[in-house]
Amino acid sequence: MLLNIYLNLILVYVLSLIIMKIKLNIIKLILVTVSIGLSDTGSFNISRIQYSGGGDWYANRSSLPNLLDFVQSNTSINVNKEEMQVKIGDDLFYKNKFFYITGHGDIKFNPEETVILRNHLLNGAFLHVDDNYGLDKSFREAVKKLFPEKDLSLLPKSHELFHCYYSFPNGLPKVHEHDKKPPEALGIFDQERLILLYTYESDLGDGWEDKNVHNDPENIRQEALKMGTNIIIYSLIQ
């Protein structure tokens, strides 16, 4: 009797792995055969947000072009390889759906920017914030003003973000060590949709930079680029 229960549990586990593998292959097949675009030109854009507060919003200058080049080379997503730089509320801001914030210092949104960004995210946009060591305190204060009714939630290792294209069974990879804390992927959700992703204690953007900037091992850079690809793909398919 116990043996049958044990065998059934093993069977359920194996079937769940097979289903996940099939799902991954279907997603990859879709991305191999279909180009996905979000802009008016039919290409995928990443828009870096210029924020106030004194932080270096422009940090990691080579990171986004390298990530976009990796996505172009390893998926069939049609990308614009040059990052866009926008201010919240300008004309270009409203034409884009995927936004990126990084830096080492303080970040602040004025009341008007807070309302505009909140509404844009609730209406289909996606924001990835990557702490480049030093952004954490001010960002958490800013996000509380953006979504006072919501809390940042830790994404479990089983979340589809970590398995939608490349598999990360251990969750968010770590590029650089700072405070001996584990890397965390935290999110703000609108019902089931992830509208804001915060990657903390990971330094993904450093891993996307030109190799000679940080001299990181190639396997670390590849992990960072693959995770960045997952973030882009998940934002499109969720």
User: DSSP of the chain, one letter per residue?
Assistant: -HHHHHHHHHHHHHHHHHHHHHHHHHHHHHHHH-----STTSSB--EEE--BSS--TT-STTHHHHHHHHHHHHS---B-SSPEEE-TTSHHHHT--EEEEEESS--B--HHHHHHHHHHHHTT-EEEEEE-SS-HHHHHHHHHHH-TT---EEPPTTSGGGTSSS--TT-S-----SSS---EEEEEEETTEEEEEEEESS-HHHHHS-HHHH---HHHHHHHHHHHHHHHHHHHH-
How confident is the model over 188-211, as pLDDT tens digits? 999 999 999 999 999 999 999 999
Q: Identify which has the larger pLDDT, 40 or 169.
A: 169
**Rg for the chain, CA atoms, rounded:** 19
**Residue 199 pairs with which residues in a beta bridge?**
130, 185
Chain position carrying tokens 């954490």: 136
Which of 27-31, 134-138, 150-154 has the highest mean predicted lDDT (pLDDT)? 150-154
Residue 233 has pLDDT above 70, yes or no: yes
What pLDDT score does 27 carry?
54
CB 171 within 8 A of CB 162: yes
Q: How far apart are CA 165 and CA 230, in angstroms?
A: 6
Phi-psi region of 53 (alpha: psi -120 to 50; beta: other; left: phi over 0): left
Beta-carbon contacts of residue 205 (< 8 Å; ≥ 6 apart): 59, 60, 63, 102, 130, 132
CB 102 within 8 A of CB 55: no
CB atoms within 10 A of CB 167: 13
Query: Average pLDDT in the 39-57 region?
Result: 83
What pLDDT score does 185 carry?
98
- Vertex 48, ends 76 and 122: CA angle to 5°? 85
User: Does the model's pTM come out above 0.95?
Assistant: no
What confidence category does residue 167 fall into, taking pLDDT thresholds of 50, 70 and 90? very high
What pLDDT score does 17 carry?
47
